[in-house]
Amino acid sequence: MVKANIMKNSKLIVIALLLAVVVMSCKDSQKSVQKETSDSAIFESKVIESAIAYQKAGGKAEFIEGEVLQITDENYAHAETAKNYRNWMVKGANEGISHLRIMAPRGEKAPTVQMNHDCLYSVAITKVVNGKISFEIPEDVLVYTSVQVIDQYGHGQHYIVTKGRHTVKLDTADGTTHAFLIFRSGLEKGIEVAKENQNKLTTWGLVSGDFKVPNYDFAAVDAKTDKLRSEVVGKAFYYTFPRNEKDVTDRHQWNLECALGWGGASPIVNESNLYSNSKMYSGKKSYTTTFMNPESVYFSSITVYDARRYLFEDEAVKNVNSNTWVVNSDNTVTISFNCGEGAINNIDTKGQDYTFTVRYYGVTDQVVRANNKDAVPNRLNPMFMMEELKK
């Protein structure tokens, strides 16, 4: 009997020891998970009510440690993209969705080149998880609403206008770990309704908090950008916006696109956008362009910029878009530049030299074919139809 009890007690001791080992192992595992979560700095995504207020309160960008990276032709697009991620991180975009509650700032105060007054912007930086990212366009949006997904090399891999919750795949072969999401809220019903629309946007699907900016020499990035822009002052420029690095067939062309209009969309017929830039024109002369009504699915617009591709500081310099422009009786559209108050659809640059950008939101197939670097002169292309008015 004594021997049996000793054996029984021995078994109980062994079982107790095994249980203790299991418990300790679970605790160690839990600590490891907690440490991993802490190290990655992932947290619940927030709504940043005012991007400007966030920045004024001390918003900062966190950088990857190490030597400063020098700029080359091969890495310029990555560096220019890093600059834009940085510019929006200080406005809160790394913490969730950050709302710019005003129309795009004028001049170099703008966080991104060639912003426009067609919409209000909201931006989020989100982590790619298992090759995918997620976001939502609510069912009850009030105005034109889209989400553009930009990778870390500046490529617009997706442009979504369909309402609902979306999970999309990202090509991460180039090393992309995060995506830059541009939420556009259209201004077709005025700025107050656009703000109400921003309030409907959610953080659903966002994975926020752990992006760090590559440590490039950003003064050198700006110098490279200025040099690239100077190449196209005297000619029209057409964008291709390849969807990923594998689609880049001309590195210099892609660098030009990033310098002139970073963050543009890859054109998808009847869904996403097409952009083109004019050459520089004298603000002391009068011009008109008359072209066939593009009849974009959503709307079209023409916006003037200074030589560096920023909106003019002068708030009296406005844009024109198809929500308000006057259409001629033959279904053509005439845009006037510096032609006086009585001129149809007039844009007054106050004597300042300018370039203009045409945007087609939900571009049609015929407009895509008429607006590219290989296009022959045609009436669907405003660049070809520019004429100086002799006074």
- Which residues touch 349 (CB under 8 Å, ≥6 apart)? 283, 304, 312, 317, 337, 338
Question: pLDDT tens digits, residue range 369-380?
Answer: 999 989 999 999
pTM for this model (two decimals)? 0.88
Name all contacts of 13-19 with Cβ < 8 Å and 24+ positions apart. none
pLDDT digits (tens, 9 = 90+) for 51-93: 999 999 999 999 999 999 999 999 999 999 999 999 999 999 9
Helix (H) or strand (E) holding 24: helix 2-40
Give per-residue pLDDT as tens, 218-276: 999 999 999 999 999 889 999 989 999 999 999 999 999 999 999 888 889 999 999 99
pLDDT score of 264 = 83
**Distance between the two ends of the chain, CA-based, in angstroms?**
122
Q: How many residues does the chain have?
A: 391
Q: Enumerate the CATH 2.60.120.600 domain ranges in the chain, comma separated.
A: 267-389
Cβ–Cβ under 8 Å, residues 211 and 98: no
Q: How far apart are alpha carbons 302 and 319 in whole angstroms?
A: 6
pLDDT at position 27 is 36
CA 282 from centroid of its chain's CA atoms: 30
CATH topology of domain 267-389: Jelly Rolls (2.60.120)
Q: What is the mean pLDDT of residues 200-208?
A: 98
Residue 9 token pair: 């007690």
Q: Using one digit for the tens of pLDDT, what is the confidence trace for 336-353?
A: 999 999 999 999 999 999
- Between CA 127 and CA 45, with CA 199 as vertex, the angle to 5 degrees is 25
Question: Do 59 and 91 touch, CB atoms closer than 8 A?
Answer: yes
- What distance in Å separates the CA atoms of residue 132 and residue 127, rounded to the nearest whole number? 9
- The whole-angstrom separation of Cα 3 and Cα 142 is 83
Phi, psi angles (nearest 5°) of residue 163: -70, 150
Q: Are 170 and 132 in contact (CB under 8 A)?
A: yes
Amino acid at 375: A
Strand, coil or helix: 61: coil
- 151 token code pair: 């990778």
